[in-house]
Amino acid sequence: MVQDDARSIFADATRAARRKFEYWQKKGIPGPRPWPLVGVFVQTMKMGLGFYDLWAIQQFGKIFGYFDGSRPILAVSDPDMLRSILVKDFPQFINRRNLDINGPLLEQSVTVLHGQKWKDVRSALVPTFTSGRLKQMNGLINECCDNLVSNLGKKADADEEFECQSLFRTVTMDVIASTFFGTKIDSQNDPKNEFTKNAKEAFDFTNFNPVLIIFFLFPWAMPLAKKLGLQIISKEKLDFFVANTKEIIRMRSESNVVRNDFIQLMMRSMNAPDKNEKKPVETTTEVQNADDSQGSDIISHNLSVGSGQEKSLSHANYKLTLDEVVAQAVIFFLAGFETSATALTFLTYCLAVEQTIQDKLRQSIEEVMQDLEEPTFESIAQMHYLDACVNEALRMYPPVSRTERECNEDWEYKGLKIAKGTVISIPIYAIQRDEEFWPNPDVYDPERFSYENKQKIKPYTFNTFGQGPRNCIGMRFAYYEIKMVMVHILRNFRILPSAKTEIPLQLKDTGFMAPKNGAWVKLQRL
């Protein structure tokens, strides 16, 4: 009798699971066959997220359904549908999936906030990343780059090959510590300092995080995981940055010290006088920055800061709380140093392998620099071939291989009905390696992004920094930092392949793209 009951329960559970996994099939949407309990988790981890997406698109097309554990996910790489999701019907897709594993502090960061709260915080942060603010940071970034050139000179003189990502992490960490916190940590020469140590450990996603495994495979266990204090970045590491950020704010508030860094800019929002509460205006159409002389193509749209959508949000007079300032500072630091270092790593690798492109880039930089000793905001803006080289590296090797949106009400697109709560996965890496959009996608060719050719790029096929009102708020800072570092390197050194340089480069993708065995190069003084 007990055995019969057990068999009955097991049979019922099996039928329920089978019905759940028929979700996309019933909607007529193709997709990979899920495994019981885990969905496509095992295959995704084995192949890597971006590589799995590329394979799935080739097998099932540009719209397919799959399962994260038992949760149905719709993957969309169709550019026209992406336009509707990311811009045209943005209010229905304003949120990202709530992972609920960030901890109470990071739940207040602009990257994970939802709805009106996201609009309010984003509106308060937009003025922090204007052209004028970046100009104020120029001296701080140049100082970090000068330190880099000095250290690279020692490697060049010793004919020493080195791994790019570990080096660039120290550079971007110095830049962000200086420009965000007004703090000099000199991790290039002191890699064991506390800032460097805690940041590297906090953002170590070289392997899949066990908290993410619990979230994807056993969502019913998340309440217990939260009670146990489990979160994607350990509380111990976060507490270090929280304590330092609060101390900086306290000291400046008490001593009236003012610095040209991002903490100061956010403090101004925190201390802004009360005004009539004006809510941000939702933008549902694409609005091009009037100052953008590059035209209305997608690349110009991405590279223009303060797009029409952001300007519409920037009219609010929202005051940040202390915890919100701390949350933004911490997430900008932790996310910014790693992704920028990854972008620099892949760009350096591409230039080492493609010497002709490197020579052309160096010449184009010198034509702009002429008698300038160090790059300025204005000179960087004139380096159009540098734009192309950076964008092509970001196309081939986006630091983040996927992004997501969540449908917050029932929605229909060309007869396809999407239910409220459905998560939309946008496979950035796969789209940017799709030969339909990018002929010879595995070839590094900056000419794709020349002024003449970028007009031909299909909109919504270059998504490294996202699209629409919820694109990466730090995009312009990241571009500027990457370009500044590369100008300093190329004016002083030739980048060369070394004995350890892999051709082609092997990749590891846990959601964050990285060289599997490191990207190795060496330098020669000019």
Name the pTM for this structure. Answer: 0.89
Q: What pLDDT sits at residue 354? A: 99
Rounded CA separation 503/203 (Å): 27
Residue 183 binned pLDDT confidence (cut-offs 50, 70, 90): confident
What CATH code is carried by the domain that includes residue 396?
1.10.630.10
pLDDT at res. 305: 31
Where does the pLDDT of residue 285 fall: very low under 50, low under 70, confident under 90, or very high at 90 and above? very low
Residue 101 pLDDT exceeds 80: no
* pLDDT over 80 (residue 295): no
Provide the pLDDT confidence category of residue 273 given band limits of 50, 70 and 90.
low
**Domain with 120 in it:** 17-525
* Confidence category of residue 226, pLDDT binned at 50, 70, 90: confident
**What is d(CA 482, CA 347) in angstroms, rounded to the nearest whole number?**
9
User: 444-481: string of b/e by CB count within 10 Å (b at 16+)?
Assistant: bbbebbeeeebeebebbbbbbbbbbbbbbbbbbbbbbb
492: in domain: yes
More confident residue, 18 or 49: 49
The pLDDT of 50-59, averaged and rounded, is 98
Q: Which residues contact 90 (CB under 8 A, 6 or more apart)?
A: 282, 283, 284, 309, 468, 469, 470
Would you state the pLDDT for residue 16?
Answer: 58
In the annotated binding site for heme, the residues are 472
Residue 264 belongs to a domain: yes
**What integer is the mean pLDDT of 492-520?**
96
d(CA 83, CA 303): 17
Whether the bond between 399 and the residue before it is cis, its omega within 30 degrees of 0, is no
Number of CB atoms found within 10 A of residue 520's CB: 19
**What span, in angstroms and rounded, lies between the C-alpha atoms of 116 and 58?**
38
| Cα(270)–Cα(290) distance, integer angstroms | 29
pLDDT at 228 over 90: no
Residue 213, C-beta contacts closer than 8 angstroms, at least 6 positions apart: none
**What tokens were used for 418?**
């999407």
| Residue 8: per-residue pLDDT | 52
Annotated binding site: 472
Q: Is residue 2 part of a domain?
A: no
CB 345 within 8 A of CB 398: no
pLDDT digits (tens, 9 = 90+) for 355-395: 999 999 999 999 999 999 999 999 999 999 999 999 999 99
The answer on pLDDT for 304 being more than 60 is no
Q: What band does 7 get if pLDDT is binned at 50, 70 and 90? A: low
pLDDT tens figures, 159-177? 999 999 999 999 999 999 9
**More reliable by pLDDT, 295 or 364:** 364
List the single range of 24-38, 84-98, 313-327 with lowest mean pLDDT.
Answer: 313-327
pLDDT at 154 over 80: yes
61-96 CB burial, b ≥16 within 10 A, e <16: ebbbbbbbbbbbbbbbbbbebbbbbbbbbbebbbbb
- DSSP class per residue in 449-500: GSHHHHTTSPTTS--TT--GGGS-TTHHHHHHHHHHHHHHHHHHEEEEE-TT
Q: Is residue 4 one of the residues assigned to a domain?
A: no
| pLDDT at residue 274 in the model | 53
pLDDT band, very low/low/confident/very high, at 17 (cuts 50, 70, 90): low
- 6 assigned to some structural domain: no
State the average pLDDT over residues 148-159. 98
Q: Is the pLDDT of residue 208 over 80?
A: no
**Strand 423-426 to 403-406 pairing:** antiparallel
323-362 confidence digits (pLDDT tens): 999 999 888 887 888 999 999 999 999 999 999 999 999 9
Determine which of 18-32, 199-213, 430-444 has the lowest per-residue pLDDT on average.
199-213
Per the model's pLDDT, the better-predicted residue between 522 and 239 turns out to be: 522
pLDDT over 80 (residue 517): yes
pLDDT at 294: 30
Confidence of residue 276 (pLDDT cuts 50, 70, 90): very low
Mean pLDDT of the chain: 86
- Per-residue pLDDT, averaged over 251-280, amounts to 73
- For 408-452, the pLDDT digits (tens) are 999 999 999 999 999 999 999 999 999 999 999 999 999 999 999
Distance CA 323, CA 329 (A): 10
Tell me whether residue 10 is in a domain.
Answer: no
Nearest to 276 by CA among 313, 316, 314: 316
Mean pLDDT for 304-312 is 37
Asked whether residue 1 is domain-assigned, the answer is: no
Q: Considering its fold, how many domains does the chain have in total?
A: 1
- 5 inside domain: no
pLDDT at 19 (0 to 100): 66
> Do the bridges between strand 520-525 and strand 162-163 make them parallel or antiparallel, or are there none, so unpaired?
antiparallel
Residue 484: the pLDDT is 98
Residue 153: CB atoms within 10 Å: 14
Q: Give the per-residue pLDDT at 309.
A: 40
